[in-house]
Chains A and B, each alone.
Chain A
Amino acid sequence: MSLNAFDNLRSTHPDWLDVIAAIERLINRTLRVDPHAVIDDEIITQQVRIDPKQVMRLLVELEGWHALVRRLFWLCPAGRGTTLEASSLQEFPAFIECSRCGQEHRLHAGDVEVKFLPSDSLLRDVLATQDR
């Protein structure tokens, strides 16, 4: 079963049906395993071998269809995952005591990555297709 937001993408990009289907399968599978998962353009690019710009464009459009939410992740410089998340850079404090490594980190743009999270409606959609 298709996810609603991807149907919107298919109607906008009739020439990209294969690419959209591949991304849809990957996101659907990912969220079924872990509803808290991060939707990462680089993982999609590596797994389905699609042009990175095309992937990013489709993810941004999915954001426009309210299927994805853009999120900033402040990564622990000691390599222990995400220390803090926010919707914008301004929400981050200048310093943080990292819950992952215990050290204090100063905010550096290089430690922040922009990725996506599924919206509540996309998660509902995924769960509904799982039920069917």
Chain B
Amino acid sequence: MLTVDLLAALVSRLKEARAKGRLEAVLKQIKADPDVSKRSFRASGTIEQLRDAVQKAGEQGLISAQDLASLVDDVEENGGQHIFLFDLNALGIARVRSQEFKDSFQRLPAQPTPTLYADLPNAKRTYYIERPRQIVVKQVYPAEYWEKDEDRSYADADERVTYIVRKQRRAINLLLLDLARGQAEVRIDRVRGQMDDGLALELFSQFRKDMEEAFDFDSLTTPVPIWQGFTRIVSNRTDTYMSTDGARDASVVVSISNRRENDRGTDVRDHPSYAYATGDYARDTLNVYWLQEGGEKIHTILSRVPGTGMGKIYVAAKLEPDQLTNVIERIRQSTLDAP
């Protein structure tokens, strides 16, 4: 049931994720039904107006708590993450199929609750979820990080003071397991509004530790070395756009960036001086946009995690589930096809 508390928590999640547009799209879709009066609720406006609209739609039985929670799940689980790819070995597949694995985690409540979608969870909870093509282990927790307090920090003629304060926010980590394809994927919440690799690796390490008894990554998986596909991705002019690139060969380190913002400028690979698409060059990171049907571009920063054999995919934007799945599939494919 869509109670006032639950509605507030769910809408707050969408607001935090800047997903007002997604909520508007859902409301517009409901209103597109000829049986629904066009005046029954609005499908655009401020987040507060949309919350009232959802409440009205809920009272008319046009949207359920589960519908809204599914939207929040989609938004929270797809994008704004650091993603690590793995292949499952036979032991891994058997482990995930075991009752012991299932029993290692809480079951997701049958109905969404305000606690599950709280602004700041009061504890770390890890749930086991079965979806049509995936088994999902979902961790909801209060993440901590340190950040400079720009308002209180100052520098004057005689003194410079920097305040670093501890912050907390709701975060979601996921382990996605596709047994049919023998694939595993870990998505770590980026938590901060920037790519903080140190924090991401710390949170990933903690996640692995939390999972240790149920699922030992070292013995059950092999990391996908996505960096082995970097040259192939750079050579792929059909699916990708690059606004910046940095590479090295045995003699030089090169860096090239276009001078326009985001994806406005010319692809750096079209510049006459660009000659770094060959296998002679190595990269530790790859900044690449993935072209979508309809002209949209999805931005990712791929990197090699030093000394671990793992690669990491950073996706800042919130995406539709299919969009993210498609990008990850293309990255996996690039690695498989690597010479």
Contacts and interface: CB of A to CB of B under 8 A. Distances in A.
Interface of A: 33-34, 36-38, 73, 76, 79-85, 95, 97-104, 106
Contact of B259 (A82, A99, A101): A82
Task: State the majority secondary structure of interface residues on A.
Answer: loop
**Looking at chain B, what size class is its interface with the partner chain?**
20 to 34
Interface string B289-302: 00000000001010
A80 to B, nearest CB: 5
Interface string B238-276: 000001100000000001011111101110001110000
B156 interface: no
Given A97-B316, A99-B299, A102-B314, A80 B257 contact: yes
A100 B244 contact: yes
Contact of A100 (B192, B243, B264, B270): B243
Counting chain B CB atoms within 10 Å of each CB, the highest count among A33, A38, A80 belongs to A80
Contacts of A80: 244, 255, 257, 287
A35 to B, nearest CB: 8
B244 A81 contact: yes
Given A102-B194, A102-B314, A81 B264 contact: no
Nearest to A98: B194
Interface string B115-151: 0000000000000000000000000000000000010
Counting chain A CB atoms within 10 Å of each CB, the highest count among B150, B258, B299 belongs to B258
Interface in B197-248: 243-244
Counting chain B CB atoms within 10 Å of each CB, the highest count among A33, A83, A99, A101 belongs to A99
B193 interface: yes
B195 interface: yes
Given A99-B299, A104-B193, A106-B150, A84 B261 contact: yes
24 contacts: A34-B271, A36-B260, A36-B266, A79-B255, A81-B243, A82-B257, A82-B260, A82-B261, A83-B261, A84-B261, A85-B261, A85-B264, A97-B193, A97-B194, A97-B316, A99-B262, A99-B299, A99-B316, A100-B243, A100-B244, A100-B257, A104-B192, A104-B194, A106-B150
A8 to B, nearest CB: 27
Nearest to B287: A100
Contacts of A99: 243, 261-262, 287, 299, 316
A127 B283 CA distance: 37
A100 B258 CA distance: 10
B107 to A, nearest CB: 36
Contacts of B316: 97, 99, 102
Contact of A38 (B259, B271, B287): B259
Contacts of A82: 257-261, 265
Nearest to B299: A99
Contacts of A79: 255, 257
